[in-house]
Amino acid sequence: MTEVASVLFGREDIRRRVQELGRTITGDYVGREPVLVTVLRGGAMFLADLMRAIDLSLEPHFMAISRYDGAGESMGRVGIVLDLDVDLSGRHVLLVEDIVDTGFTSRYLLSMLRARGAASLEICTLLDRSARRIVPVTPRYIGFDLPDRFVVGYGLDFQERYRNLPDILQVDDLAALSQDPDVLLPLLAGAA
């Protein structure tokens, strides 16, 4: 193993929590055929597991956004790279996200989805790092609360690596990972 990162939520913890979320959402959305809107690429793995844990008729839809982390004027600016091709008017929309961090992304997505006439709109996020919130956003469904640590795996990346790790790892030495983004690649061998 390596001291750069360690398992925070293992695959079995994730599986159990996603099943619980699915049951709760099933109860809350009975009779409503929700539209699950997922943000690529980080949310794809969560969506795939979550939708199978919801025992209702539902529609999964996808979008992709760009996000500029730069300081100053562009701080938190978000743009659409791939748009939805579904009419949301009158639909019950559940925004499925990998992680809500500062809240800039969620705020943008919520206002965009609201403007398209959704009958209801809630967020389901796998991870909630509320300690870093800048914009007030309150997800209705939360998988896990997250300490102020960078995480990778189960959809979450560092420079597009590690999305396919089956567990969620917290990065204990971000300086080492920044210096060598491939340093955790050995974890992929035998991860399954």
Dist. CA 159–CA 156, nearest whole Å: 10
Query: Is 101 an annotated catalytic residue?
Result: yes
Stretch that binds Mg ion, among 5-13, 58-66, 125-133, 155-163 (CB under 5 A): 155-163
| Shorter beta-carbon distance to Mg ion: residue 32 or 163 | 163
User: Which alpha helices (H) appear in the chain, and where do they start and end?
Assistant: 11-28, 44-52, 104-115, 174-179
Within 146-165, the residues that bind ligand IMP by CB under 6 A are 150-152, 156-157
Question: What amino acid is encoded at 36 in this protein?
Answer: L
Q: State the nearest-atom distance from the C-beta of 160 to Mg ion, in Å.
A: 7
CA distances from 15 to 25, 62, 71, 83, 153 (A): 15, 22, 36, 29, 14
Helices first, then strands: H and E counts in the chain? 4, 9
Q: Rule CB under 6 A: choose which of 14, 47, 99, 168 binds ligand IMP.
A: 99
Which residues contact Mg ion (rule: CB under 5 A)? 157
User: Which residues are designated catalytic?
Assistant: 101
Which residues contact ligand IMP (rule: CB under 6 A)? 42, 97-106, 150-152, 156-157
